[in-house]
Structure formats: structure tokens, C-alpha cells
Amino acid sequence: MLNVRHAMFRRVLERGEQRYAEVEVHTDAPRDPELLAYFRREGNGSFQLVRVISHAADHEWDWFDNSMHAGYQDVTARMFNGPSHGAPDDRHAFGRRILEREDIQAELARHLP
């Protein structure tokens, strides 16, 4: 289980007709200490974690947060697929742990009406 140490709402992104909230997540995992989690609002009003990106860029070099290089990798499949994972349950549980941190759920409700 990946523990969430800190989470912070960053921004809203639009992809086609869909809006996503980007949340910066700090974990206790040596392999993925900093992640970007993407949530969307479902029809029932809840928030679903849809994608997780490893944010391994060095802030000293990547001072303007350029996501167009190898410091950013989609780790969703690696985190939630495979024999030791129950993909939907793991993804749901990790998303819930993020939403429980700080004021993330309130921020998402405000930015994804």
C-alpha cells in the first residue's frame, strides 16, 4: 500500500470535452516519491482517479514544470495492474487516500462543478 504524505491541488486540465483535476501527491515510496494524480467528476458527483504520472523531474533544472520530457511517466498500469494488485480496488483505495488529505475533496468540488 502506498502511503500519501501530502497532497495539493494544482490545476484543472481540459482534454476534449472532459475536465480533469491535477493533484500533486507526495508518498513514502522511494521509487515514486512525487506523483501527479488526475481525477474526473463522475455522473453521481463522486471523483474518480483516472491516471497517475510519476513526477521525477528535478525542480532545479525543470523550474517551469515542463511535462514534455522523460521526468514525467505514466505509472498507472505499473501501480494498479499485475498479480499483486486488484486494479479497480487498488486504484479506488489510492484515490480515496488522496481525497482524504488536506482539503483536496473540497478543492476538486470547487474546480470541477
pLDDT digits (tens, 9 = 90+) for 8-47: 999 999 999 999 999 999 999 887 789 999 999 999 999 9
CA distances from 83 to 25, 72, 79, 112 (A): 25, 25, 11, 34
Residue pLDDT, tens place only, 74-90: 888 888 876 665 556 68
Which of 6 and 57 is assigned the larger pLDDT?
6
End-to-end CA distance of the chain: 30
Nearest 10 degrees: Cα torsion 28, 30, 33, 39: -80
Tell me the C-alpha distance between 53 and 23, whole Å.
Answer: 10
Whether residue 49 contacts residue 91, with contact meaning beta carbons closer than 8 Å, is answered with yes
Tell me the C-alpha distance between 72 and 51, whole Å.
Answer: 12
